[in-house]
Amino acid sequence: MVGEVKYGYCPICGAAGKSRERRPDGNDVCANGHTYSSRSSIPFNPKETKEERAIGLCRELILYCYTWHDLRPSEARQKLLSIFDNETITKAFDDISSKQEVSDG
Ligand SMILES: [Zn+2]
């Protein structure tokens, strides 16, 4: 699933982090085998465009609205209109409904 990355992304090649050492100042290893400090891992996918990141963030916020505020999809959309443009919100809703996480209405 998009956005299901536990350890961020490799600062060398941009691949998802595969493992993380459980100690302070530990290292991560990416899917391509690079080792780097956990602190230098990139929290967002560096291969995504700014628009894709906005959609991903919007998507998280919609799910957050449903889960924690018990809002209907149309109410969540209204709230998010102060942050995102309509197109971004629509794409985020499309992304969610394509994965059957919630239905718009
Ligand atoms: Zn790498």
Starting at the edge strand that comes first in sequence, how are the strands of the sheet with 27-30 ordered?
A: 17-20, 27-30, 35-37
Q: So what's the pLDDT on residue 14?
A: 93
- The verdict on pTM exceeding 0.75 is no
Spatial CB neighbours of 73, under 8 Å, sequence gap ≥ 6: 62, 66, 93, 102, 103, 104, 105
What does the pLDDT read at residue 6?
A: 84
Distance 73 CA to ligand 1 centre (A): 38
Cα distance between residue 73 and residue 56, in whole Å = 16
pLDDT tens-digit map of 73-96:
888 899 899 999 999 999 999 988
Q: What is the whole-number distance in angstroms between the Cα of residue 28 and the centre of ligand 1?
A: 10
Question: How far is ligand 1, taken at its centre, from the CA of residue 35, in Å?
Answer: 7
User: Exposed, middle or buried, 27 (CB in 10 Å: 0-12/13-18/19+)?
Assistant: middle
Residue 1 pLDDT grade (very low, low, confident, very high; cuts 50, 70, 90): very low
Gap from CA of 47 to ligand 1 centroid (Å): 13
Give 6 Cα–ligand 1 centroid separation in angstroms.
Answer: 15
Residue 31: helix, strand or coil by DSSP?
A: coil
